[in-house]
Structure 1
Amino acid sequence: MPTLSRLVALSTVAILGVAGQALAHAQLTKNVPADKATVATSPAELDLHFSEELDIKFSGVKVTGPDKAMVKTGDAMLMDEGKTLMVPLPEMLGPGAYAVEWHVLSTDGHKTNGTYGFTVKP
């Protein structure tokens, strides 16, 4: 039955190949401020750390504050060998809840996105 064992081997390789591709997406591993955190003062920047190197041209964030008002952000830049997206916040954030919507493209071509939130104390 060499044919059956060859079929099993090929199936295993195919399954592992698909699983490897699924793991290749850039996943958010840490963010500052942290999700659901309450911070005492307005952060000067947002730092989003990912598991993969990013393509800055196709990566960014949108921040909304209290009453769904858009928050002005500076130009995003990459740090930590391209795995951290740093987004300056040029204006002080007032007290309230903020939502961060992010989208990134890893250098291997996979897109991911997500949201998180934090609160600035009154």
Structure 2
Amino acid sequence: MRISPLLPAMPVFLLLVSGQAWAHAMLDHAEPRVGNKVASPPREVTLTFTQKLEPAFSSVTVTGPSGQRVDAGKARVSGNQMSVPLKGAGAGTYHVNWHVLSVDTHTTDGSFTFQVGP
């Protein structure tokens, strides 16, 4: 039986291919939590990702119950966290949309909601 000279390199190849799935900054958790209900409007939204972010190419927007933007200023990025201050908009559903570039040059985006009210 003849063994291919590529066989010893196969584990390294598989590791490289499978490693690409981890090469994106994915949302790890948020505050307020994704889908959570809070009693009063938060002062800010903080997103934590699985990788460090490039500040110049990462952003987040938040819209309040009326559909108006309630993010008050540019997002602050520090390592793998991004925060944005909010203007209070009362009870209802808030929508958070984010777009980030990780330090490994991969972009990801996503969205979630949280509720404010009694």
TM-score computed with the length of structure 1 as normaliser: 0.86
Whose helix fraction is larger, Structure 1's or Structure 2's?
Answer: 1
Aligned CA-pair RMSD: 1.7
TM-fit CA distance, 1:69: 2.5
TM-fit CA distance, 1:3: 4.6
Unaligned runs of 5+ in 1: none
**What pairs with 1:33-112 in structure 2 (closer than 5 Å)?**
33-79=32-78, 82-89=79-86, 91-112=87-108
CA contact (8 A) 1:26 1:51 kept: yes
Q: Distance in 2 between matches of 1:15 and 1:104?
A: 27
CA deviation digits over 1:52-109, x for unaligned, max 9?
A: 1100111011212224322233221123xx11101111x2121110111111000110
Taking a change above 3 Å as real, the CA distance of residues 67 and 93 of structure 1, as seen in their structure-2 partners, is: closer
Q: Distance in 1 between matches of 2:63 and 2:83?
A: 17
CA deviation digits over 1:24-77, x for unaligned, max 9?
A: 211111100001111111111111001111001110112122243222332211
Percent of counterpart pairs with the same letter?
42
CA contact (8 A) 1:43 1:93 kept: no
Structure 1 segments, 4+ long, off by >6 Å, are none
1:116 equivalent in structure 2: 112
CA contact (8 A) 2:70 2:88 kept: no
CA contact (8 A) 1:64 1:70 kept: yes
Q: Distance in 2 between matches of 1:111 and 1:63?
A: 19
How many residues are matched?
118
